[in-house]
Amino acid sequence: MPEGDTIFRAARTLNRALSGHTITRFETVLPQLSRVDQDCPIVGRTIEAVESRGKWMLMRFSGDLTLLTHMRMNGSWHIYRPGESWRRGRHRMRVMIETASFVAVGFDVPVAEFHDSPSLARHPNLARLGQDVLGEEFDPQAATLRLREFGNLPIGEALLRQSMIAGIGNVYKSEVCFACRVNPFRQVSSLSDAEALCLITKAQEYMRANITDHSGDGTVTYTGFRRTTRRADHGARLWVYARHNQPCRRCGAAIQSRKQGEAARVTFWCPECQPL
């Protein structure tokens, strides 16, 4: 599933390409979008801005209309020049927005909705979001207090709760716990103040490091390899994620993995560096 850094980079790419330009063509295979387009045509509107909010993306059009999308596991946005060949089959296109200079294509997008300002403000998922870890006004101290409110949950599950902090996904969950030497299966209530603050600040540090101008902007908006180790070697870019039974980069013990939570997301950790 794309995490907050992926959506941030995608929104930045789309904003740079589309913001301020007039829509010359709009296509969708999604009935809920087609109905709005028939009643209030999209062509002729100006794209005012594209922004991310946690794992959600908001594309704002003139006339108080916003396209809200969520990528879930497999969705992505691509940017092309008019006439350029698409890197995915047309049967996977869900929504397409064209201007004089660029074509933005949403492939396999599972959640796409049009909203005006009142309906967007009432959107239950957006209303429940915690602070965006990549937001300019992100407050680590306030986020630490918010984490404490999930005291009965295992730490790995709490970090994925978008109502706690918006943007953290499965990769960063495991990487942040390792960096702070915290076992992800401990309860949040067992965290010391220093451990709780470490989890929040490391999440912010790692995710901000992966939204630099050189971390993945381009034609395909989801590209760019995450790094938490600061190593240039592609094979050494993560501490524990997807490294089951491989040696820990700190102590040499075999990295372990296990499904966690109702969604059964796989968590990776080092049993020596992160004991229970």
Catalytic residue chosen out of the listed positions 51, 55, 140, 175: 55
Q: Tell me if 132 sits within 8 A of 54, measured CB to CB.
A: yes
Scored b (16 or more CB within 10 A) or e, 211-248 reads beeebbbeebbbbbebbbeeeeeeeeebbbbebeeeeb
pLDDT, tens digit, 9 for 90 and up, residues 242-270: 999 999 999 999 999 999 999 999 999 99
3, 51, 98, 157: the catalytic one is 3
Q: Where in the chain is the domain with CATH 1.10.8.50?
A: 131-269
68-104 as b/e: b if 16+ CB within 10 A: bbbbeeebbbbbbeeeeeeeeeeebbbbbbbbeebbb
Which SS3 state, helix, strand or coil, does residue 228 take?
Answer: coil
Per the CB < 8 A criterion, the answer to whether 9 and 55 are in contact is no
**SS3 state of residue 11:** helix
Angle of CA points 34, 102, 65, to nearest 5°: 40
| Average confidence (pLDDT) over 210-229 | 60
Q: What pLDDT is stored for residue 63 in this prediction?
A: 98
Note if 175 is an active site residue: no
3-state secondary structure of 40: coil
Q: What are phi and psi of 37, to 5 degrees?
A: -60, -35
Quote the pLDDT of residue 45.
98
The question of whether 55 is a catalytic residue gets the answer: yes
Q: Where in the chain is the domain with CATH 3.20.190.10?
A: 4-128
Band of residue 2 on the pLDDT scale cut at 50, 70, 90: confident
Residue 13 is which amino acid?
T
Query: How far is 27 from 44, CA to CA, in rounded Å?
Result: 13
Residues 219, 223: Cα–Cα separation, whole Å: 9
Note the pLDDT of residue 51. Answer: 97
Catalytic residue among 2, 140, 154, 184: 2
At 212 the pLDDT is 76
Contact 168, 156 (CB under 8 A): no
Q: 131-269 — its CATH code? A: 1.10.8.50
Residue 223: is its pLDDT beyond 80?
no
Query: Would you call 98 a catalytic residue per the annotation?
Result: no
Q: What gap in Å lies between CA 152 and CA 88, rounded to an integer?
A: 43
Local structure of residue 222 (DSSP, 8 states) = T
What would be the CATH architecture of the domain defined by 4-128?
Alpha-Beta Barrel (3.20)
The pLDDT tens digits of the residues spanning 157-211 come to 999 999 999 999 999 999 999 999 999 999 999 999 999 999 999 999 999 998 8
Higher pLDDT, residue 111 or 1: 111
Please give the structure tokens belonging to residue 239.
């501490």
- What is the largest distance, in Å, between two alpha-carbon atoms of the chain? 62
Q: What is the tens place of the pLDDT at every residue in 6-61? A: 999 999 999 999 999 999 999 999 999 999 999 999 999 999 999 999 999 999 99
Residue (of 213, 214, 52) closest to 136 by Cα position: 52
